[in-house]
Amino acid sequence: MSFLSTFLNSVLDILFGCGHENVTRPFTLQKHTYKVCLDCGKDLPYSAVTMSYLTAREVRAMAHRPARTASILAFDAMRAQRTPPAEHTLRDSNAAA
């Protein structure tokens, strides 16, 4: 009987998620915000922007988003400050020859 109840609880958790209402306040660690269920201990993804729980689709989208490292951000800043190359005209190339 124990196996059957554990199995059914797992299936219901997969389908509907944690149904407990006794949760902690939002925590943000390593750029991930979540709440923790005090009854079952499950981490519940949470959005600090919209102040609501994240759906499974939103969590997957965040996981596949490429990380912007400091080196990429520095490169983007240098590229934004760079001036466009000077345009060459036919007259300039004839003068050099």
> Which tokens go with 96?
């050099």
Give the mean pLDDT of 24-52: 88
pLDDT of residue 25: 92
Domain limits of the chain? 22-81
Q: What order of strands is seen across the sheet that includes strand 32-36? A: 27-29, 32-36, 43-47, 52-53
- The owner of tokens 């149904």 is 19
Spatial CA neighbour of 9 closest among 36, 40, 46: 40
pLDDT above 60 for 88: no
pLDDT above 80 for 89: no
pLDDT above 60 for 96: no
pLDDT of residue 26: 92
- When pLDDT is cut at 50, 70 and 90, the band that residue 13 belongs to is confident
Give the mean pLDDT of 40-68: 82
How many angstroms separate the CA atoms of 57 and 66, rounded? 16
Residue 42 CB neighbour total at 10 angstroms? 15
pLDDT above 70 for 78: no
